[in-house]
């Protein structure tokens, strides 16, 4: 592993789009990949200052864990953030976030979230970020970039940045035990720096603050929510009449997005006044997000000018061997329509260009932001492939061809994992829960022969292997049962859906 990757998700404005910045740092050969998602959102602060919310998330597989005497695995992630203005005094914050898991075997189990706040004067800043595994300092990522901290000093109504969230609960109603870092104006808000949602979540959870509302009291006002696709076509819009109970209020209206097809979108929030016949409109606060809907395929738009971007793409120069390898992997996650399209060209060994164009269109439909040269959807897929290679490879079978690899590539990481029979004579098995996929589903994997040969034996996901009597067949009396043919044969699972 020769690099580290850090994703930065920032606010989108009408004048400038800064969505996802990806940095790959060259390090020594002993370095490990570190994936940290970072989100920035700005709010009005005290004394004419701006509050910058620095939120982050990371998977447990990023860290080295140490087992303690209480049976707990402990890890620590270290942050060093330096904000340097073009004039004035720099601010620096260093902190360590400790994390713990009760049962860790190197496979993904949990994503951790955190947040830090900075009170800043408006203006241009250079931001330097260093993130490091505190118990394995070879694992680190660093990035620097320019950033504009805006001013909320105005007499006109204004809208803060939009903070997309993993979870929002009213403080007076919650039954959870919360840390103070997530508290803001009567709510506990867990930010979602990835800005990536799936049909496991029906609503887009968002936290927004509205300022300087007193002048709107007499003529009324409405809060407008709009969603645009990558071609800037409006696909959703909602209006809510504002109840103005003070000069500033908080809005946490959930936005239903389950009707959207898979793709990248831009979420707008702004104020109009008067509500019925508006003649005033605030600047739009805009946040980009990506939505994956297993029930609605990506909407691919074909243009006559496709030739030029295709010829400039990596697919146009791929060898036949590379193309065949890439297509085999893509078909794991392809829609039925895309598989039908490929079936019309797969027998044409000599038509390499047709297969290259298939890949170009396939990944073009999954590009989070088609306005940039970097295809983030393809980058995410390649990261998942690398993850499967690192954690699921079995014998001569690459990780993506194993059952666990297939499920990870197609459905992502599970909500949680239950480990069963780890210390008994029977075959161990794992239950991968997807709490919001089809209102709650799961996959069951059994380890065959005690050799980390994990086989999918049952699932409640429509279209996947369904065998509710799996225990009678797969839970043998001995986990090292030599009658199990899988114990002797090399594991070579064919990817589903081919």
CA 135-141-143 angle, 5° bins = 145
pLDDT tens, per residue, the chain with 498 residues:
333 445 454 444 333 333 333 332 322 333 456 788 899 999 999 999 999 999 999 888 888 888 888 888 899 999 999 999 998 899 999 999 999 888 777 666 788 999 999 999 999 999 999 999 998 888 888 888 889 999 999 889 999 999 999 999 999 998 888 889 999 999 999 999 989 898 778 899 999 999 998 878 656 789 999 999 877 789 999 999 888 888 899 999 999 999 998 888 999 999 998 877 788 889 999 999 999 888 877 765 554 445 667 777 888 888 888 999 999 999 998 888 888 888 888 765 558 888 998 999 899 888 877 666 678 889 889 988 988 988 888 888 899 999 999 999 988 888 889 888 766 678 889 999 998 788 789 999 998 776 778 999 999 998 899 999 998 888 764 544 444 444 333 333 333 332
Task: Provide the β-strand partners of residue 198.
Answer: 292
pLDDT in the model for residue 68? 86
DSSP string for 364-375:
HTT-S-TTSSS-
Q: Among 399, 367, 397, which Cα is nearest to 380's?
A: 367
pTM over 0.85? The answer is no
Contact 419, 428 (CB under 8 A): yes
Q: Which residues, in sequence order, are CB contacts of 375 under 8 Å at separation 6+?
A: 363, 364, 366, 367
Contact 112, 58 (CB under 8 A): yes
Q: Say if strands 3-9 and 35-44 run parallel, antiparallel, or are unpaired.
A: parallel
- The H or E element containing residue 270 is strand 263-273
Whole-Å CA distances, 333 to 298, 338, 402, 466:
12, 10, 14, 19
Q: Which residues, in sequence order, are CB contacts of 120 under 8 Å at separation 6+?
A: 45, 49, 50, 51, 52, 83, 85, 91, 149
Rounded Cα distance between 286 and 18, Å, is: 11
CA 470-475-479 angle, 5° bins = 150
Rounded Cα distance between 145 and 125, Å, is: 8
Q: Say if strands 441-448 and 429-434 run parallel, antiparallel, or are unpaired.
A: antiparallel
Q: What share of the chain is helix, strand, coil (3-state, %, to 5)?
A: 20, 40, 40
CA 114 from centroid of its chain's CA atoms: 15
Q: Which residues, in sequence order, are CB contacts of 157 under 8 Å at separation 6+?
A: 210, 211, 212, 213, 215, 216, 221, 271, 273, 280, 282
pLDDT in the model for residue 303? 44
Rounded Cα distance between 114 and 91, Å, is: 19
pLDDT in the model for residue 489? 35
Structure tokens at 187: 């709510």
Site of tokens 């004394």: 47
pLDDT in the model for residue 401? 92
Contact 79, 116 (CB under 8 A): yes
Contact 459, 441 (CB under 8 A): yes
């Amino acid at each position: 592993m020769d690099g580290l990757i850090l994703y930065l998700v920032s606010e989108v404005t009408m004048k400038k789009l800064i969505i996802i910045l990806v940095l790959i740092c060259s390090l020594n050969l002993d370095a490990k990949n570190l994936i940290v998602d970072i989100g920035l959102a700005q709010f009005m602060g005290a004394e004419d200052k701006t509050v910058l919310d620095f939120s982050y998330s990371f998977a447990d597989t990023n860290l080295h864990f140490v087992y303690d005497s209480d049976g707990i695995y402990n890890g620590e992630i270290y942050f060093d953030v330096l904000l340097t203005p073009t004039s004035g005094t720099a601010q620096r914050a260093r902190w360590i976030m400790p994390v713990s898991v009760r049962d860790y075997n190197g496979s993904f189990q949990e994503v951790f979230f955190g947040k830090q706040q900075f009170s800043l004067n408006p203006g241009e800043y250079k931001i330097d970020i260093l993130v490091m595994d505190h118990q394995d300092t070879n694992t680190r990522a660093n990035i620097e970039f320019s950033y504009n901290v805006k001013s909320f000093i105005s007499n006109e109504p204004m809208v803060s940045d939009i903070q997309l969230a993993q979870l929002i609960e009213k403080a007076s109603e919650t039954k959870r035990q919360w840390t103070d870092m997530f508290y803001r104006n009567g709510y506990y808000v867990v930010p979602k720096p990835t800005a990536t949602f799936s049909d496991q979540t029906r609503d887009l959870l968002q936290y927004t603050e509205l300022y300087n509302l007193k002048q709107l009291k007499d003529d009324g006002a409405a809060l407008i929510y709009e969603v645009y696709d990558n071609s800037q076509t409006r696909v959703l819009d909602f209006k809510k009449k504002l109840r103005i109970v003070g000069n500033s209020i908080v809005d946490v209206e959930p936005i239903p997005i389950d009707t959207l097809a898979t793709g990248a979108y831009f979420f707008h929030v702004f104020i109009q006044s008067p509500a019925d016949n508006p003649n005033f409109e605030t600047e739009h606060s805009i946040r980009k997000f990506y939505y994956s809907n297993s029930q609605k395929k990506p909407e691919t738009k074909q243009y006559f000018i496709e030739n030029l971007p295709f010829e400039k793409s990596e697919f146009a120069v791929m060898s036949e061997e590379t193309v065949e390898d890439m297509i085999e992997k893509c078909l794991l996650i392809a829609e039925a329509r895309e598989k039908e399209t490929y079936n019309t060209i797969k027998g044409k060994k000599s038509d390499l260009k047709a297969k290259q164009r298939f890949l170009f269109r396939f990944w073009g439909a999954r590009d989070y932001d088609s306005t940039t040269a970097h295809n983030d959807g393809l980058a995410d897929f390649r990261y998942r492939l690398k993850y499967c290679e690192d954690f699921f490879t079995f014998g001569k079978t690459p990780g993506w061809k194993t059952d666990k690899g297939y499920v990870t590539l197609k459905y992502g990481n599970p909500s949680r994992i239950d480990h069963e029979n780890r210390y008994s004579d029977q075959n161990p098995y794992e239950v991968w829960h997807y709490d919001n996929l089809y209102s709650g589903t799961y996959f069951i994997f059994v380890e065959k022969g005690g050799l980390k040969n994990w086989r999918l034996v049952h699932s409640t996901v429509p279209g996947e292997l369904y065998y509710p009597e799996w225990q009678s067949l797969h839970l043998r009396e001995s986990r090292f049962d030599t009658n199990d043919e899988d114990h002797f044969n090399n594991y070579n699972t064919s990817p589903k859906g081919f």
